[in-house]
Amino acid sequence: MTAHGQIGPGLLEAVVVTHDSAGVLSTCLAALSHDGVAAIVVDNTSRDGSADLARRLGARVICNARNEGYGRGNNRGIADATTDYVLVANPDVVLDRGAATELLAAASRYPDAGLFAPRIVEPSGRFFFQPRSLLAPYLSNPSGRLALPEGDACAPFLSGACLMIRRELFLRLGGFDPDIFLFYEDDDLCRRVADAGYALVHVHAAVAHHVRGGSSTAAPGRVFNARWHLAWSRGHVCRKYGLPVPGWGTIVTNALQAAGFALLLDRHRAERHAGVSAGTLAFRRGRTALGRQGLM
């Protein structure tokens, strides 16, 4: 640490993946800069000037020729980082002053831990803490009972919206699953970190504010596309870890619900259910998320 409590060189860099994120990016990068955390911005073909804004704000910018998705974008940024630890942060996440320092301090306190996440506070004031994970059956909490921690705590899942990991460990584990375009890439990484024998630690004194859904601007078909990938990725990780794969019941139920909401002229809900039905069907038929995005 420096004399002013900022993080010294070589310890921590942040990787921020953007896609039409100009509306929130400056606040995110300013908070990182306050703590002396350099940022690598990986831009997934933004059309709103996100990459140029990041350059003006002093970030190192990597521009993908195509939208590579969240996990794959982070893989590229982390491969380009040079520090011992890397901080994965959504562009709509704003760290409180000192949060990065608290995460590094926790890494010193808990040498057996592999992943660290701050206390993520949402606009309502509640903080995000997920007491179970689809991919962590060995940490059973069948009812999903939510008991918010009052201090540092081990967890079955840490949100990919903001987490810190030793760069060497991330690369050794293969990074985020490159077959996933969007969703469940953080669950999958948490599972592999845990399977490798490392704890996942919620660091209570490190605070980050998350504006959910602020990472990219709305676009036609975005709801359908998001739900398609959510359903496809769920099938992918279930098969990967030997869990029951969503089947025809999911496909038919969501198709009927989509039709019902379409008749009610509720476009948002119709798209949500149609996306789940189509994504599940595509997975069952052997289609890939990367193929859908033209990334094969």
Residue after which a domain boundary falls, among 143, 178, 210: 210
Q: Quick check: 46 pLDDT over 60?
A: yes
**Residue 263 domain-assigned (yes or no):** yes
pLDDT band at 3 (very low <50, low <70, confident <90, very high): very low
Domain contains 6: no
How far apart, in whole angstroms, are the C-alpha atoms of residue 60 and residue 213? Answer: 24
CATH number at residue 121: 3.90.550.10
pLDDT in tens, 151-194: 999 998 999 999 999 999 999 999 999 999 999 999 999 999 99
Q: Quote the mean pLDDT of the chain.
A: 92
Range of the domain at 262: 222-292
d(CA 69, CA 81): 19
pLDDT exceeds cutoff 90 at 139: no
Answer yes or no: do 49 and 124 share one domain: yes
Residues 189 and 228 in one domain: no
The reply to whether 230 and 116 lie within a common domain is no
pLDDT of residue 148: 83
Last residue of a domain, one of 210, 235, 270: 210
2: in domain: no
How many folded domains does the chain comprise? 2
Domain boundary among 210, 232, 262: 210
Q: Are 108 and 143 part of one and the same domain?
A: yes
Does residue 72 share a domain with residue 173?
yes
Whether the predicted pLDDT of 1 surpasses 90: no
Same domain, 120 and 263: no
The yes-or-no verdict on residue 4 having pLDDT over 80 is: no
Two structure tokens written together for 137: 């059956």
Looking at the structure, do residues 162 and 20 belong to the same domain, yes or no?
yes
Number of CB atoms found within 10 A of residue 181's CB: 25
Cβ–Cβ < 8 Å for 61, 43: yes
Residue 287 and residue 145 in one domain: no
Pairing of strands 113-121, 162-166: antiparallel
Partner residues linked to 201 by β-bridges: 116, 154
Other beta carbons less than 10 A from residue 12's beta carbon: 25
Contact in structure between 144 and 132 (CB atoms under 8 Å): yes
What pLDDT sits at residue 214?
A: 53
Residue 131 lies in a domain: yes
Residue 21 phi/psi, 5° resolution?
A: -115, 15
Per-residue pLDDT tens over the stretch 233-248: 999 999 999 999 999 9
Residues 23, 81, single domain; the answer is: yes
- Mean pLDDT, range 119-146, rounded to an integer: 77
Identify whether 178 is part of a domain. yes
pLDDT higher at 215 or 17 = 17
Radius of gyration, CA atoms only, the chain: 19
Longest dimension (CA), the chain: 63
> d(Cα 81, Cα 85) in Å, to the nearest integer?
9
Q: Is residue 63 scored above 80 in pLDDT?
A: yes
Same domain, 181 and 235: no
**Do 187 and 73 share a domain, yes or no?**
yes
Per-residue pLDDT averaged across 280-288, rounded? 98
